[in-house]
Every structure is written in structure tokens, then in C-alpha cells.
């Protein structure tokens, strides 16, 4: 598990699956998707700082960007 800074989220490192710019991952036990081009989480813009941090963390772990 990877703790996401400034949030209550934890990424399951072993669940990361990238498909193009989209990453599918389990977060706090639930499947989610992050679009690393648009910055969207589950098809929507991040609603708060924690969600933005989550998208950033997912994309950094998946692509090193």
C-alpha cells in the first residue's frame, strides 16, 4: 500500500493497470480510474485537494511523471 500525501487514500500498488493515459487501481479497497492526461478521477474533475493528490500519485507511480 502507498499512502497518498495530504489525503486519507491508500493505493494498492499491486493493482495498478495502465491503458494508454488511463490507470485502473484499487484505492482504499475500491476500484478507481485516473486519466493522467485530463487529471480526471473516475471520469470527473477532482473535487478536492485529496482527490487531486490521488490522481497525481497514481500517475506518478504508473508513469513516473
Report pTM.
Answer: 0.90
What is the per-residue pLDDT across 11-54, written as a single tens digit (0 to 9) for each?
Answer: 999 999 999 999 999 999 999 999 999 999 999 999 999 999 99
Cell of 24: 485502473
SS3 call for 36: coil
CA distance 1 to 22: 20
- Torsion, Cα 27 29 30 35, to 10 degrees, reads 20
Q: For residue 65, name the pLDDT band (cuts at 50, 70, 90).
A: low
Cell of 2: 502507498
Domain boundaries, the chain: 2-63
Q: How far is it between the farthest Cα atoms of the chain?
A: 27
Amino acid at each position: 500500500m502507498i499512502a497518498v500525501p495530504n489525503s486519507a487514500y491508500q493505493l494498492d500498488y499491486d493493482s495498478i493497470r495502465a491503458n494508454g493515459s488511463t490507470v485502473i487501481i484499487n484505492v482504499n479497497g475500491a476500484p478507481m480510474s485516473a486519466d493522467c492526461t485530463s487529471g480526471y478521477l473516475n471520469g470527473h474533475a477532482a473535487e478536492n485537494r485529496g482527490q487531486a493528490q490521488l490522481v497525481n500519485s497514481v500517475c506518478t507511480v504508473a508513469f513516473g511523471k
